[in-house]
Structure 1
């Protein structure tokens, strides 16, 4: 079975790490996320 992943930079390990595509990222929300949430609240 194929695995879906993405590569992110790990500050703790100071290297690139493969993680699940469905894992949540840390940081600021994108404009797309904000737009979706404002629509969903209506």
Structure 2
């Protein structure tokens, strides 16, 4: 059971990290609405 939970958490964290990086990129491009969307996805995880 613990291994399954760990795998699930890792997958979620990868997705959150990807969203976070996209959000940072959007901030650099002054695309704040898109950045907000990506960062809120990262925070949900």
Q: Could you tell me the TM-score, scaled by structure 1's length?
A: 0.29
Larger of the two Rg values belongs to structure: 1
| Larger RCO (CA under 8 A, 6+ residues apart) | 2
Bigger helix share: 2
Q: Could you tell me the TM-score, scaled by structure 2's length?
A: 0.28
